[in-house]
Amino acid sequence: MADLLTLDEYRAIAAALDLPQNAFIDGTFRPAVSGKTFETVNPATGTVLTHVAACGAEDVDLAVSKARESFDDGRWSRLHPGERKDVLIRLCKLMTRNARELAVMESLDSGKTIYDCETVDIPEAIHVIKWHAELIDKIYDQVAPASDNHIAMVVREPVGVVGLVLPWNFPLLMLAWKIGPALAAGCSVVVKPAAETTLTALRLAELAHDAGLPRGVLNVVTGSGAGVGEPLGRHPDVDMVSFTGSTVTGRRFLHYSADSNLKEVVLELGGKNPCIVMDDAENLDAVAAHVVNGAFWNMGENCSAASRLIVHRDIKDALIERVKAHARGWIVGDPLDPQVRVGALVSKAHFEKVSGYLVTCKAETVLMGGAVVAEGFIEPTIVEAGRTSALATEEIFGPILTVIHVTSFDEAIAVANATDYGLAASIFTANGKRALRGARALRAGTVTVNSFGEGDITTPFGGYKQSGFGGRDNSIHAHDQYTQLKTIWLDLTDHADDSAD
């Protein structure tokens, strides 16, 4: 882990940053064909950081054609896996060398705390790409059990040109989750970062170029969802789209695919994730630390945020006291201050959306917080709300924890499952059988027991129900998204004797 600097030192680095502005296509930075730009703002201060290329369909066409060219001529897709590994490992080294710059850039662009950028986002992004890189030359294909006269091979091939459409909450890390396996598999990619957070994706593309990634293999097209995301989703020459974002937008990609070329679509979507704490949970103080981390980490702008605390009535008050004590230690403020744990929400629009839920809180029982600290900043808030309240059902994506009490384990599971989402869930109980029964009964892609978390790079991540579609990120299973299976059937029958007759 990096040694953290002081606020003044981070400010000095921020002031000296050279911010990228142009899209990255075919190995070079280019303005939008239209010449248009949009402002990218530091949400902590409201100041304009720089102006970024506002690309459109014509830029998407160019990026896709360059990606296609690079895929078809095999400069990456048919490179020896060991050589692909070497390039990606070199990229990881360059990212490590530039980690501090990436962390400050990410914090400025998104409002995320420098603490998280330095300790999680950037090191994890490097770790994820390295993990997939090291995997490339250790994966074997299969030979099927055919007759003695045949050999049937089942081989994996890269799916082709891939569109990667990203959210703003973990800009570089989500990019790493997708380019790690996509590039490892040999695909060529066109990335559309969230308009709010384009800077680290552009910088990464430059580092990848410096690491020796051939031109055209990794393109970054900046712009809006309508201007870039939709043309990418509808493009007839894109073979697959991997998307992370809201369920509303994710659904559109299925339409785009159906209306165009039936491209593969993988969706990682939202969540309203339950955290169940039963009356036999051990060490409520340790549980409280997990609850606070689950709810308030990354300002609650986390698809797997544990935003519903489903707690047994008998321990509710004792647990809430401890949760409040831990939450008081989460300082709200300047994201560049290394002491701060709760930074700025990503944009004015998102801040206003989350502030609206604070108004909804007033009709319920606010147990802690409930106020705006300053424009862009909301304090950690805990509210006890009815089960049908918007606070208990809608994904808020802000630092608001909703408490619901129950009187039995079966009731806890039923409440936890009473949602259209199914991304993640946690159970705290000392009863091992109950924990396992619960883990099976919860309809979620990841269930953690006696902790909050998402697993790690070795475990698949994705959602049940309306939290996901078509595949998983992370682990070796992520490669399934970016590869397709081919059967090669060889007939070994010796016909030499036949012709001799």
Which residues are identified as catalytic?
A: 268
How do 264-268 and 468-469 pair as beta strands?
antiparallel
Judged by beta carbon, residue 70 or residue 169, the one nearer ligand NAP is 169
Residues 108-137 that bind Mg ion (CB under 5 A): 109
Annotate each residue in 157-176 with x if it binds ligand NAP (CB under 6 A) or - if it does not, as one string.
Answer: --------xxxxx-------
User: Per rule CB under 5 A, is residue 40 in the interface with Mg ion?
Assistant: yes
Q: Quick one: what does residue 422 bind among ligand NAP, Mg ion, none, with the CB cut-off 5 to 8 Å set by partner type? A: none
Q: Please, what is the angle between helix 171-185 and helix 99-110, to 10°?
A: 120
Q: By the 8 A CB rule, do 157 and 483 touch?
A: yes
Contact segment (CB under 6 A) with ligand NAP among 28-36, 87-95, 227-235, 285-293 equals: 227-235
User: Per rule CB under 6 A, is residue 59 in the interface with ligand NAP?
Assistant: no
Q: State the minimum distance, in angstroms, from the CB of residue 197 to Mg ion.
A: 5
User: Per rule CB under 6 A, is residue 260 in the interface with ligand NAP?
Assistant: no
User: Per rule CB under 6 A, is residue 64 in the interface with ligand NAP?
Assistant: no
Burial call 258-281: b when 16+ CB within 10 Å, e when fewer:
eeeeebbbbbbbbbbbbbbbbbeb
Q: By the 8 A CB rule, do 298 and 169 touch?
A: yes
**Binding residues with ligand NAP: total (CB under 6 A):** 29
Q: State the minimum distance, in angstroms, from the CB of residue 148 to ligand NAP.
A: 47
Q: By the 8 A CB rule, do 260 and 235 touch?
A: yes
The only residue of 45, 65, 224, 450 in contact with ligand NAP, by rule CB under 6 A: 224
Judged by beta carbon, residue 196 or residue 395, the one nearer Mg ion is 196
Residue 2 DSSP code? P
Q: State the minimum distance, in angstroms, from the CB of residue 401 to Mg ion.
A: 26
User: Per rule CB under 6 A, is residue 125 in the interface with ligand NAP?
Assistant: no
Q: State the minimum distance, in angstroms, from the CB of residue 196 to Mg ion.
A: 5
| DSSP string covering 66-91 | HHHHHHHTTTTTTS-HHHHHHHHHHH
User: Per rule CB under 6 A, is residue 244 in the interface with ligand NAP?
Assistant: yes
Q: Quick one: what does residue 109 bind among Mg ion, ligand NAP, none, with the CB cut-off 5 to 8 Å set by partner type? A: Mg ion
Judged by beta carbon, residue 188 or residue 302, the one nearer ligand NAP is 302
The only residue of 84, 112, 252, 405 in contact with ligand NAP, by rule CB under 6 A: 252
Please state the three-class secondary structure of 423-435 as a single string: CEEEEECCCHHHH
Go through the chain and tell me how many residues it has: 501
Residues 6+ apart with CB under 8 A from 110: 43, 168, 169, 171, 196, 197, 346
Q: By the 8 A CB rule, do 132 and 184 touch?
A: yes
Contact segment (CB under 6 A) with ligand NAP among 5-13, 124-132, 193-201, 480-488 equals: 193-201
Q: State the minimum distance, in angstroms, from the CB of residue 320 to ligand NAP.
A: 25
Contact segment (CB under 5 A) with Mg ion among 37-45, 85-93, 207-215, 313-321 equals: 37-45
Q: By the 8 A CB rule, do 263 and 238 touch?
A: yes
Q: Quick one: what does residue 230 bind among ligand NAP, Mg ion, none, with the CB cut-off 5 to 8 Å set by partner type? A: ligand NAP
| DSSP string covering 196-245 | T--HHHHHHHHHHHHTTPPTTSEEE--S-IIIIIHHHHH-TT--EEEEES
Helix/strand/coil for 185: helix
Annotate each residue in 384-423 with x if it binds ligand NAP (CB under 6 A) or - if it does not, as one string.
Answer: -----------x-x-------------------------x
Q: Where are the alpha helices (DSSP H) in 348-429?
A: 348-361, 390-393, 409-417
Q: For 296-432, list the strands marked E by DSSP.
A: 308-312, 365-368, 372-374, 377-378, 381-384, 400-406, 424-428
Which residues here bind ligand NAP, judged by CB under 6 A?
165-169, 192, 194-196, 224-226, 229-230, 233, 244-246, 249, 252, 268-271, 303, 395, 397, 423, 463
Which residues here bind Mg ion, judged by CB under 5 A?
40, 109, 196
